[in-house]
Structure 1
Amino acid sequence: MEYHEQSRRLRQGKQMTIVENERASRFPDAELKARAAWHYYVEGLTQERISEILGVGRIKVHRILSAAREEGVVQFRIRDSVVECVVLEESLKQRFGLSQAVVVPSAADRSNAPLMIGHAAAAYLADHVNAGDVIALGWGRTLKFAINELPRRPIARTTVVSMLGGLTHAQPLNPTESAWDFAEKIGAECFLLPVPVYADRPEQRDAFMSQRSVQDVVFRARRANIAVLSVGSFSNDSPIANYGFIKPSELEELQAAGAVGDILCHFIDAEGRPVDHEVNRRVCAYPLQDLSDIPSIILVSGGQEKIAIMRAALANTKVSVLITDEDAAKGLLNR
């Protein structure tokens, strides 16, 4: 009996060691080596702390560092382009009071920035959405890519709540569709705002938002513990402009009033404050002043054209996590 018990414990120990060693990381192998080397040799972190940051076991951290030395990743400097991203992440955290920042290398073709940032956002969400989470969701091209890249993995007792009204005609980007797709990926309950993104008149917007069904969804969004947002600029490929939500003359008026872009379809100035324009009184979306009710806000956006609106959002919104690219990170810090 004693022999069998010892044998059983030995097998369990081996299984635990295998699990410890094979914990998956969200980073590719080459990037994992560079990040581990940076944290260990430059920042002086312990292997235990590096294990927590990278999401791998302590034994694997030791092996990664050994491999980094053997393969020449560690010489007099760390030879990897990701090093600059790591430095930018730390600088962003300090400058904007973030709990975490994720910076990806800028795309050679800048039109691919939303795809690359979306891929990083999908990896982050896959690691950080847990059972029981209530996720309030914005919209945008980058978030759509993130949701597309998100692995299909049911997470118990999760809820996804759209923070905006929907489109009345089919378009590639739709807030309600994004919320539904996200919910389907993680097996979550889903709540949608049954109103258009913009009403025709402010009084119509007030009538829409006062409906009991709409108030229920807004209440659920207010009870979320995570909000995943993006921001929009005045670039030519802006969905708000391309989908005809707002007249070209109104876009010009918004810019003249000091708007640098939008968050949740509310147009804000460089200080992050809503501009005084009728368009902002017609938007059917979660109130910006209530974002402070949500404990963790994840901002997913990047590209040079988004620097001004990202800076504005960071100025007046308590963002916890920023997921962006090198171009935007450098622009945010160069001021």
Structure 2
Amino acid sequence: MDAMKIEQTEETNLLTEIAVAYYQDGATQEEISKRFGLTRVKVGRLLKRARDIGIVEITVKYHPVFSAKLEEKLKETFGLKRALIALDQPSEEEQRTLIASVVSTYLSSSLNDNMVISVGQGRNVSAVSEHIGIVTPKECTFVASIGGIHPRGGMLNADHISRQFAKTFGGVSETLYAPAYISDPDLRNTLMNDITVRQTMDIARKADVALVGIGDLAENSYMVNQGWFSVQEMVEARIQQGVVGEVGGYDFFDIKGEVQDTKMSNRVVGLTIADYQKIPEVIAIAAENSKPLSILGALRTGAIDVLATSVANAITILNLEAQQ
């Protein structure tokens, strides 16, 4: 066996033993330092290392009564199946990581063998696929619901995310062999009718579950950064048509949840809101605290069945709904 692998195995074993002693058996760091012949400072560093590489996964839970009441209020108000609410975190990245953990746990318990899962693009969906945690293997098919992104899209590409989910759960993935964005609407429509693209899209449309992100129309949004749409097009859609967001990278809607025909329409190869409305369970993920209006509009489309977001976003959208 390679010396590096032996070293990594020994380190993992030590980290696991110390983590079990501290988190499960309740031993103090002083007791652990004596048992393993280490300094307390070293023990503290090893416990941090165990958390960093995923041996230890800490989930902070707020009061169960508050959690249950908040979820029930969201379910009652918007007709949701579930609301997966994570505690507010000091940074956007920490918020995304915690929400990803909550969604990953939910998928592990709710997915069944032979299910088809339609997978969207973006940072929030990607974070779920990259989450390090214990999941129950599922023989599922994960299929990209939107075409491929320029190489700089990397880990945010729906195809990459689908492959990562398949690797995590032990399932298989289906690639959508088409670019996500096409500047010419006529060319885009022609490609949508290609038999290979159509077959994959049909698999995605008939999925049992869909995972999507909720996007806003900020000037630094994902689609602007990718070069799909200009800042001017985003601003015009917001001002002239009241567009507040999009679901899955496709279809722009206003605060009432009504799809608007904008200059940006018909340029993306992917599922539409109408497609998502027919999928039995659509899980929408929004970690950013800048998205309450986008979340509210998305919920009003009737396409969302499970919402995963922060406490702050959940409370804000409930207050916004109550004021209208």
With normalisation by structure 2, the TM-score equals 0.74
Q: 1:94 to 1:126 in 2, by over 3 A?
A: same
From 120, 127, 135, the equivalent of 1:138 is 120
Structure 2 residue 69 is the aligned partner of structure 1 residue 87: yes
Structure-2 separation of matches of 1:244 and 1:253: 16
Partner of 1:261: 245
Deviation at 1:318, TM superposition (A): 3.6
CA displacement at 1:200 relative to structure 2: 1.3
Do structure 1's residue 103 and structure 2's residue 85 form an aligned pair? yes
Matches within 5 A, 1:112-151: 112-149=94-131, 151=133
CA distance in 2, matches of 1:245, 1:273: 22
- 3-state SS of 1:131 partner: coil
Deviation at residue 159 of structure 1 after TM alignment:
0.5
Which residue of structure 1 lines up, in the alignment, with residue 146 of structure 2?
164
1: CA distance, partners of 2:254 / 2:102: 28
- Match of residue 202, structure 1, among 185, 193, 199: 185
Aligned residue for 1:192? Answer: 175
> Which of 152, 162, 165 pairs up with 1:182?
165
In the alignment, is the contact (CA less than 8 A) between 2:219 and 2:234 conserved in 1? no
2:216 aligned residue: 233
SS in 2 for 1:194: coil
Contact 1:126–1:151 (CA under 8 A) maintained in structure 2: no
Conserved 8 A contact 1:117-1:325: yes
Cα deviation for residue 165 of structure 1 reads 0.7
- Once the two structures are TM-superposed, the CA of residue 154 in structure 1 deviates from its matched residue by 7.0
Aligned-residue offset at 1:110: 4.1
**Contact 1:202 / 1:281 at 8 angstroms: preserved in 2?**
yes
Shift of 1:87: 1.9
Contact 2:142 2:166 in 1 (8 A): yes
* CA 1:152–1:177: 2 relative to 1, 3 Å: farther
* 1:304 and 1:331 in contact (8 A); partners too: no
- The structure-2 alpha-carbon separation of the partners of 1:308 and 1:248, relative to structure 1 and needing over 3 Å to count, comes to same
> Does 2:222 correspond to 1:245?
no
- Matching residue of 2:256: 271
| In 1: Cα distance, 2:181 partner to 2:114 partner | 31
Letter in 2 for 1:321: V
The amino acid across from 1:136 in the alignment is S
3-state SS of the aligned residue for 1:196?
A: coil
Name the counterpart of 1:281: 266
Q: Which runs of 5+ in 1 are unaligned?
A: 1-27, 30-78
Task: Could you list the structure 1 runs, at least 4 aligned residues long, displaced by more than 3 angstroms after superposition.
Answer: 79-83, 150-157
Give the secondary-structure state (helix, strand or coil) at the position aligned to 1:170. helix
RMSD: 2.2
Counterpart in 2 of 1:35?
Answer: none
Work out the CA distance in 2 between the residues paired with 1:297 and 1:185: 20
> Is the CA contact 1:153–1:186 (under 8 Å) kept in the aligned structure 2?
yes
Match for 2:233: what amino acid? E
Question: Cα offset for 1:304?
Answer: 2.7
2:297 to 312, 316, 327: 312
Q: Displacement, 1:169?
A: 2.2
Matched letter for residue 216 of structure 1: Q
- Shift of the alpha carbon at 1:236? 5.0
The change in CA–CA distance for 1:114 and 1:99 in structure 2 (over 3 A counts) is same
Shift in Å, 1:150: 5.3
Q: Quick one: percent identity of the two aligned structures?
A: 26
What is the Cα deviation at residue 83 of structure 1?
Answer: 4.0
- Structure 2 residues without counterparts, runs of 5 or longer: 1-22, 25-60
1:324 and 2:309 correspond: yes
